[in-house]
């Protein structure tokens, strides 16, 4: 994803040069990180929707993306450095989940919710190396918002048809998998990054 990195770098440099305040090195790195994520997410969403259209599950992919959008900002989860690797993982979880729900319609995926809720209670929010969650109050706030989002998605699912509900349940489950220490280990990502951050600041 060199093209995205190059574009993000140029946009970040332009913003820094025209900024009205003096930005620290940390501020500049955070800005570049956010801009890169923005362009990467546009590319990722576009690719996933195109695949969904090809597989004739376009609307299910929109629903999957909506479910992730409501939940992931609060429970967070691991993030790999490689844009291509990130795209492949997203396709595997999102497209795979929607495809499974559309193919195996007789399974009661609502039972996955029990596991998902337990994972949120234990592990949410899970931070990353570039975005460690330092403030305990902020961390608690994210957990509460994650639980509220979980409940909201379930209310929506309970008022929908079986296929739509199943897509939401699977989306919640795959999203919560990304916050577990096991998944961090599988994808070789550091866990509890706030601890390392505090050590470096000490």
User: CA-to-CA distance for 47 and 49, rounded, in angstroms?
Assistant: 6
User: CA-to-CA distance for 186 and 202, rounded, in angstroms?
Assistant: 30
Task: Give yes or no: residues 24 and 86 share one domain.
Answer: no
Task: Give yes or no: residues 61 and 44 share one domain.
Answer: no
> What's the confidence (pLDDT) of residue 129?
81
> What's the confidence (pLDDT) of residue 31?
83
195 pLDDT above the threshold of 80: no
Checking phi first, is residue 125 left (phi over 0); if not, alpha (psi -120 to 50) or beta? Answer: beta
User: CA-to-CA distance for 89 and 166, rounded, in angstroms?
Assistant: 21
2 pLDDT above the threshold of 80: no
Res. 53 pLDDT band, cuts 50 70 90: very high
User: CA-to-CA distance for 46 and 70, rounded, in angstroms?
Assistant: 18
> What's the confidence (pLDDT) of residue 146?
97
Residue-wise pLDDT tens digits, 144-189: 999 999 999 999 999 999 999 999 999 999 999 999 999 999 988 8
Task: Give yes or no: residues 167 and 116 share one domain.
Answer: yes
Task: Give yes or no: residues 20 and 112 share one domain.
Answer: no
> What's the confidence (pLDDT) of residue 157?
94
Res. 105 pLDDT band, cuts 50 70 90: confident
Task: Give yes or no: residues 60 and 46 share one domain.
Answer: no
Task: Give yes or no: residues 34 and 60 share one domain.
Answer: no
Task: Give yes or no: residues 118 and 187 share one domain.
Answer: yes
Q: Of 77, 6, 75, 74, nearest to 35 (Cα)?
A: 6
> What's the confidence (pLDDT) of residue 202?
52
168 within 8 A of 110, measured Cβ to Cβ = no
Which residue is it, tokens 């601890």?
Answer: 195
> What's the confidence (pLDDT) of residue 175?
95
> What's the confidence (pLDDT) of residue 200?
61
Task: Give yes or no: residues 107 and 184 share one domain.
Answer: yes
Q: Of 180, 194, 52, nearest to 116 (Cα)?
A: 180
29: domain range?
A: 1-54
* Torsion angles phi and psi, residue 24, rounded to 5: -75, 170
SS3 breakdown of the chain: % helix, strand, coil, rounded to 5? 75, 0, 25
201 pLDDT above the threshold of 80: no
107 pLDDT above the threshold of 90: no
Task: Give yes or no: residues 7 and 81 share one domain.
Answer: no
> What's the confidence (pLDDT) of residue 121?
97
Residue-wise pLDDT tens digits, 74-84: 999 988 777 78
């Amino acid at each position: 994803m060199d093209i995205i990195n190059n574009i993000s770098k140029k946009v970040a440099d332009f913003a820094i040069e025209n900024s009205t305040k003096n930005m620290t090195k940390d501020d500049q790195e955070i800005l570049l990180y956010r801009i890169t994520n923005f362009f990467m997410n546009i590319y990722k969403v576009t690719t996933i929707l195109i695949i969904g259209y090809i597989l004739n599950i376009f609307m299910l992919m929109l629903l999957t993306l909506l479910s992730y959008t409501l939940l992931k900002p609060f429970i967070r989860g691991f993030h790999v450095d490689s844009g291509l690797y990130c795209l492949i993982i997203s396709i595997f979880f999102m497209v795979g989940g929607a495809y499974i729900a559309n193919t195996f319609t007789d399974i009661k995926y609502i039972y996955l919710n029990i596991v998902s809720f337990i994972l949120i209670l234990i592990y949410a929010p899970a931070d990353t190396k570039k975005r460690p969650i330092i403030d305990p109050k902020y961390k608690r706030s994210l957990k509460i918002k994650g639980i509220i989002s979980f409940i909201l998605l379930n209310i929506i699912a309970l008022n929908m048809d079986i296929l739509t509900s199943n897509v939401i349940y699977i989306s919640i489950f795959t999203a919560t998998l990304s916050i577990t220490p096991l998944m961090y280990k599988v994808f070789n990502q550091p866990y509890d990054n706030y601890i390392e951050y505090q050590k470096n600041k000490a």
